[in-house]
Chain A
């Protein structure tokens, strides 16, 4: 597609439920990132996928968070047993693979606003 597509755009869930957030990156982009943006805050790195390499999960805040990327394209971020502190906007970004000069700018999706009640 022309841009990074995320769905749903908004999600309200009850505490303790599991949620799945989807990201469809730009075609041809091999790098995919998930970030979390809490209200009025900066962007917190969660996880990184690059091609067929093992993902970098170092930013995941707890084992309730997991993500996968199927076929090197679509990614799903799953949050199990959601808590109120998980409420945030979850942003996905994709980029061309790293070059010798370093990675180029991300293209972000519009995010999924997750509210845990």
Chain B
């Protein structure tokens, strides 16, 4: 089942923070986060496997709630290079077959 991703779009000034949410109606095996710039392929950011897990990647981090149904991506002190569309991909059975959300378009302006 396709996860619900929110917000659909967000505009930030450099240095501001953003949170992107990804929700499923059922418990998940894992959640993947990817960033895609216009005209390019998605690029992996991080994967969360355990309930309650939190992971960081420079100024981008993510959490996976205890019930393993919701994940959030946190972008802090945003930079111009953070602009792009962020997708969560959910794995329901551990087969690594992902259902992707419809994406969150993030625009960072000077």
Is chain B found bound to chain A in the same assembly? no
Where the two chains meet, the residues of A that have a C-beta atom closer than 8 Å to any C-beta of B are none
Where the two chains meet, the residues of B that have a C-beta atom closer than 8 Å to any C-beta of A are none
